[in-house]
Amino acid sequence: MNQSAYMPYMIKNTLIAGLFCLLISFITAAHANPVILVMGDSLSAEYGITRGTGWVKLLEDQLKKQSSPWTIFNASISGETTAGGATRLPALLESKRPGIVLLELGANDALRGLSIEQTQQNLRKMILMCKQSGSKVLLFGMQIPPNYGQSYTSQFKDLYPMLAKQEGVTLLPFFMAGIVNNKSLFQADNIHPNEAAQIILFKNVWGSMAPYQSLLQRSQQVN
């Protein structure tokens, strides 16, 4: 087959392959549930505060106030790392089929001195899992104190916007914005936000969910 005859054949196959991928993506998204899955650590698991006072509950209350059909499944675990999240995520995606995943992980990786490359690899893996399942992702940007070293601190901070840009997902620039410089908003350990800080965390998350507001007003459930 000469080149001129071969080109239409290649173009046809490419178009078919593209349409097939688009169809698979549409079918996957259509079968997502109106569920928001929260994958986080102690910052999202109400560590050290009264149950029902955390930012996740405030988000749930906001959705109810708007009569949104969406519900929340909080799969956050205190002490969770990105490796742990990547291990647990497949089963959660399969059982809950969430339409949106709020990904708040990485801080414990830094506290344990894990490599930036390892954290990046795990976060990317989770983002790809979510996208392949038809879930939209809101990635929570995290930062660590400067005492971890300027290079590590800077690389860790830059990791989140870089991943969000590369993978085309929505970014909450800094989850702890408005809190880190106010000691009165922390528990005695100076690590975990107290109850008074939860409204700020909620507002940070809610503001970054602006791209999903129209989606939150309708259900993706297919009967």
Beta strands 136-140 and 98-104 are parallel
Q: Is 61 a catalytic residue?
A: no
Instruction: For the chain, give the percent of residues with pLDDT over 90.
Output: 79
Confidence of residue 147 (pLDDT cuts 50, 70, 90): confident
| pLDDT over 50 (residue 203) | yes
Mean predicted lDDT score pLDDT of the chain: 88
Q: How far is Cα 29 from Cα 21, in angstroms, rounded to an integer?
A: 12
Q: How far is Cα 82 from Cα 86, in angstroms, rounded to an integer?
A: 6
CATH says 31-216 is which class? alpha beta
Q: Is 189 a catalytic residue?
A: yes
Task: Supply the pTM of this predicted model.
Answer: 0.85
Lowest mean pLDDT among 25-29, 70-74, 139-143, 157-161: 25-29
Set 31, 154, 192, 219: catalytic member: 192
Set 41, 42, 109, 135: catalytic member: 42
Residues ≥6 apart with Cβ < 8 Å to 39: 75, 76, 85, 88, 89, 92, 101, 102, 103, 104, 105, 126
The pLDDT of residue 31: 59
H-only helix segments in the chain: 3-30, 55-65, 82-96, 107-111, 116-133, 150-167, 198-208, 213-216
- Condensed to tens digits (0 to 9), the pLDDT of residues 46-96 reads 999 999 999 999 999 999 999 999 999 999 999 999 999 999 999 999 999
Partners of 33 in beta bridges: 98
Q: How far is Cα 56 from Cα 73, in angstroms, rounded to an integer?
A: 9
Confidence of residue 39 (pLDDT cuts 50, 70, 90): very high
- The structural domains of the chain, with segments of one domain joined by +, span 31-216
CB-count exposure of residue 100 (10 Å: 0-12, 13-18, 19+): buried
Q: Is 31 a catalytic residue?
A: no
